[in-house]
């Protein structure tokens, strides 16, 4: 006879039902896990979004770094430009001072040389007079000796010595005349009358301004100094002028076509026969036109408005 009661039967039933549920859950479990994993397309899209985000962050960082570098380079460039401007200004000031000192020193040397040349010329003339006088006196003395020695055997050697003395005297006179001519030519070449602050080329004095004025005011300034705006008459003179012009500066010339457009004339009315216009110039640009000529540091010329402000060059004879 079985001792198990109704409760025991219910317990067995519950146990079997629980075991069935666990087996069913175990069978369903892997399927639910498989269904919960993302598909490959979604994974690729996620990776793509991640790469785009990283790229954006990297691009932003590089942009910020480049902007900082550009800002630093721009600041360095502005500082370099300011230094360059200050260096140019200091160099121009120093050059002006050195030029004035050299002009003063050269003027003193030329005055001393002129005085020495005058003394040498006077001494040469004195020697020439003494040589002429000595030749006359020596000639008389030799003639007296010749007459006294006509009947002696020493006459021939004395005549030979006399001839040699005359030849030596002639050579001395020729050398003396050549030296006097050289002194005269040297005094004619040197220009000793340029005022302090002016430069000398050939036999002409030039003044290069350090300030700027319109063309007409520059013309009047030169006239007050007994000079005129520079008139270029040769290629050598144009090169000399260009060598005195610093970069980024222009100087007025005494050349304009204010009376008739296209008909350029020097001050005094002389027509333009020798020119050094820059390429494409003169072009008479602008509404008001360009009727006055300037000299560039390159040695070429340019036409600009006469009302513009520029430095200028005055010219006068020694």
pLDDT of residue 36: 47
% of the chain surpassing 90 pLDDT: 38
Determine how many CB atoms are found less than 10 A away from the CB of residue 215: 26
pLDDT value, residue 74: 85
Check residue 254 and report its DSSP letter: E
d(CA 40, CA 116) in angstroms, rounded, equals 109
Whether 183 has a pLDDT exceeding 60, the answer reads: no
* Helix H or strand E segment including 200: strand 199-201
DSSP helix, strand, coil percent of the chain (3-state; round to 5): 60, 10, 25
Q: What is the DSSP letter of 241?
A: H
Average pLDDT over residues 294-305: 96
Residue 200: C-alpha distances to residues 160, 229, 279, 317 (Å): 54, 15, 30, 9
pLDDT of the residue at 9: 57
Q: How far apart are CA 89 and CA 210, in angstroms?
A: 12
Question: Which pTM was predicted?
Answer: 0.44
Q: pLDDT tier at 1 (50, 70, 90 boundaries)?
A: very low
Of 9-13, 86-90, 194-198, 309-313, which has the strongest mean pLDDT?
309-313
* Averaged pLDDT for residues 119-136: 68
Tell me what the pLDDT averaged over the chain comes to.
79
In CATH, the architecture of 199-317 is: Roll (3.10)
CB-CB neighbours of 2 under 10 Å: 5
Tens digits of per-residue pLDDT, 218-262? 999 999 999 999 999 999 999 999 999 988 899 999 999 999 999
**Matching residue, tokens 């260096």:** 87
Q: CA 253, CA 272: separation in Å to the nearest integer? A: 12
Q: Indicate left, alpha or beta for 124 from its phi (over 0: left) and psi (-120 to 50: alpha).
A: alpha
Q: Quick one: pLDDT at residue 99?
A: 67
Specify whether the CB–CB gap between 205 and 194 falls below 8 A: yes
CA distance 302 to 275: 11
Predicted local confidence at residue 168, as pLDDT: 77
């Amino acid at each position: 006879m079985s001792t198990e009661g109704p409760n025991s039967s219910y317990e067995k039933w519950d146990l079997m039902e629980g075991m069935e549920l666990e087996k069913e859950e175990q069978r369903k479990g892997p399927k639910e896990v498989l269904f919960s994993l993302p598909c490959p397309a979604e994974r690729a899209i996620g990776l793509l979004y991640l790469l785009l985000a990283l790229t954006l962050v990297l691009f932003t960082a590089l942009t910020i770094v480049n902007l900082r570098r550009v800002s630093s380079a721009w600041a360095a460039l502005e500082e370099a430009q300011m230094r360059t401007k200050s260096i140019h200004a200091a160099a121009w000031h120093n050059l002006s001072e050195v030029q004035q000192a050299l002009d003063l020193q050269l003027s003193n040397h030329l005055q001393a040389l002129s005085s020495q040349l005058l003394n040498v010329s006077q001494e040469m003339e004195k020697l020439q007079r003494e040589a002429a006088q000595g030749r006359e006196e020596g000639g008389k003395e030799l003639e007296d000796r010749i007459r006294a020695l006509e009947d002696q055997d020493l006459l021939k050697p004395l005549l030979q010595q006399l001839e040699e003395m005359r030849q030596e005297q002639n050579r001395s006179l020729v050398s003396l005349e050549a030296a006097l001519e050289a002194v005269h030519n040297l005094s004619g070449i040197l220009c000793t009358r340029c005022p302090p602050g002016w430069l000398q080329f050939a036999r002409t004095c030039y003044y290069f301004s350090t300030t700027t004025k319109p063309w007409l005011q520059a013309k009047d300034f030169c006239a007050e100094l007994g000079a005129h705006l520079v008139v270029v008459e040769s290629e050598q003179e144009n090169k000399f002028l260009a060598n005195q012009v610093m970069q980024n500066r222009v100087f007025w010339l005494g050349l304009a076509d204010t009376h008739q457009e296209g008909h350029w004339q020097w001050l005094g009315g002389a027509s333009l026969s020798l020119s050094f216009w820059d390429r494409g110039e003169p072009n008479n640009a602008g509404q008001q036109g360009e009727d006055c000529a300037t000299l560039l540091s390159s040695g070429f010329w340019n036409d600009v408005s006469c009302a513009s402000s520029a430095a200028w060059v005055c010219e006068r004879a020694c």
